[in-house]
Amino acid sequence: MKKHFSLLSIALLAAFSLASSAMLASCGGGKSGSAADSTAAANANTLTGAGSTFINPIMTHWASEYQKADSISVNYQSVGSGAGINNLIDHTVDFAGSDAPMNPDELARAKAPVIHVPAVIGAVCVAYNVAGLSSGLKLTPDAIAGIFLGKITWWDDKAIKSQNADMKLPHVKIFTAHRSDGSGTTAIFTDYLSKVSPDWKAKVGQGKTVNWPEGGIGGKGNAGVAEVLKQHDNSIGYIELAYAEQNKIAYASVQNSAGNFIAPSVDGAAAAATAFPMPDNMTSMITNSSAPQGYPITGFSWIITWKDSPKGEMVKKFISWVTTKGQDDCKALYYAPIPQSAAAAVAAELTPSTAAK
């Protein structure tokens, strides 16, 4: 556990430093909110990426380790999956990080072939801040959907109480938190809800951005939602496991399709992925897994790049390293490594000249 927190703390501290540098740069001029500022000084030994906050802790770690291994600087800005994909389409970055595959509209705007490479598997926690409630609250799919639809509004509602007879649930209003930006974490969470709740699917649906039911508040990035949860008593929201652990925020065990209540974990995320074959295009949403020990709100995080670009070979070499050597520290940072089927699909996609050192 000490190694987990040490690596994660270093990764998040480095991520904060990168974000602070980007903010200072934007104050001096240029395109605010874009990854273009950091790419202006890019050179032959620099790769630029932007996107997913879900993957940011381990991406920051990878950037540091890859520079040691290959003298290549990787500058990644944690701006959210939607913004990262837009940056890729605008050719202001060499790759995007995203927890959702590009949709048909994004692929059409790209006007050139892209590849999606699964880099890690992560668990999205249903996290909460309620005095006296530690991790382990049991939530059914119906309860989660009901809470975020605004139908379940009290913490001692029978839909929650029926599964938690051993917990003292307070009679207080539930406060919900969600992402305010285009988010792959939202795509995973809403994909899950759309699979388990016909009501959610009909009224809200799935995507990186959705029209949330009234109530609650949005936070930018996983870090932003974590901060909302910390600052608001009796709140509940969804964040990637690393952010819950780093911020010491309690999270629920979620009932999966086999009827088992599973806590978010590296092993639970890995188990979830085993129930899904890897398609040829390497894009697969893996929520609501049929695996008995699978955590149901689980997803891949992808590195997306052009099939053919000026830095294509350099990006693919980095990807090859990420999906081989880079997998070694996944578990220490609360991610599951990609399965062998995914690693084999990545190896088949990359050319021999991009083999990892």
Report how far residue 97's alpha carbon sits from residue 117's, in angstroms, rounded to the nearest whole number. Answer: 10
Q: Is residue 208 part of a domain?
A: yes
Q: Is residue 292 part of a domain?
A: no
Among 23-32, 52-61, 110-119, the range scoring the smallest mean pLDDT is 23-32
DSSP code string of 257-321: TTS-EE---HHHHHHHHTTSPPPTT------S---TT--SSEEEEEEEEESS-TTHHHHHHHHHH
Summarize pLDDT for 63-96 with one digit per residue, the tens: 999 999 998 999 999 999 999 999 999 999 999 9
Paired tokens of 188: 């995973």
Evaluate whether 191 touches 231 at the Cβ level (below 8 Å).
Answer: no
179 pLDDT more than 80: yes
Report how far residue 6's alpha carbon sits from residue 65's, in angstroms, rounded to the nearest whole number. Answer: 15
Residue at which a domain ends, from 224, 251, 273: 273
Q: Is residue 279 part of a domain?
A: no
**Shared domain check, 144 and 186:** yes
Q: Is residue 296 part of a domain?
A: no
What is the pTM (predicted TM-score) of this model?
A: 0.86
How far apart, in Å, do the first and last CA atoms of the chain sit? 30
**Shared domain check, 207 and 103:** no
49 pLDDT more than 70: yes
Summarize pLDDT for 258-269 with one digit per residue, the tens: 999 999 999 999
Give strand pairing partners of 304.
96, 116
Report how far residue 273's alpha carbon sits from residue 286's, in angstroms, rounded to the nearest whole number. Answer: 6
Total of domains in the chain: 2
Report how far residue 82's alpha carbon sits from residue 102's, in angstroms, rounded to the nearest whole number. Answer: 9
Average pLDDT in the chain: 88
Q: Amino acid identity of 86?
A: N
Q: What is the pLDDT of residue 351?
A: 64
Around Cβ 351, how many Cβ atoms within 10 Å?
11
185 CB-near residues (< 8 Å, 6+ apart): 52, 53, 54, 81, 99, 124, 179, 222, 238, 239, 240
Structural domain harbouring 72: 2-120+303-354
**Shared domain check, 269 and 193:** yes
Paired tokens of 42: 């890019």
**Shared domain check, 80 and 132:** no
Q: What is the pLDDT of residue 285?
A: 94
Give strand pairing partners of 50.
77, 96
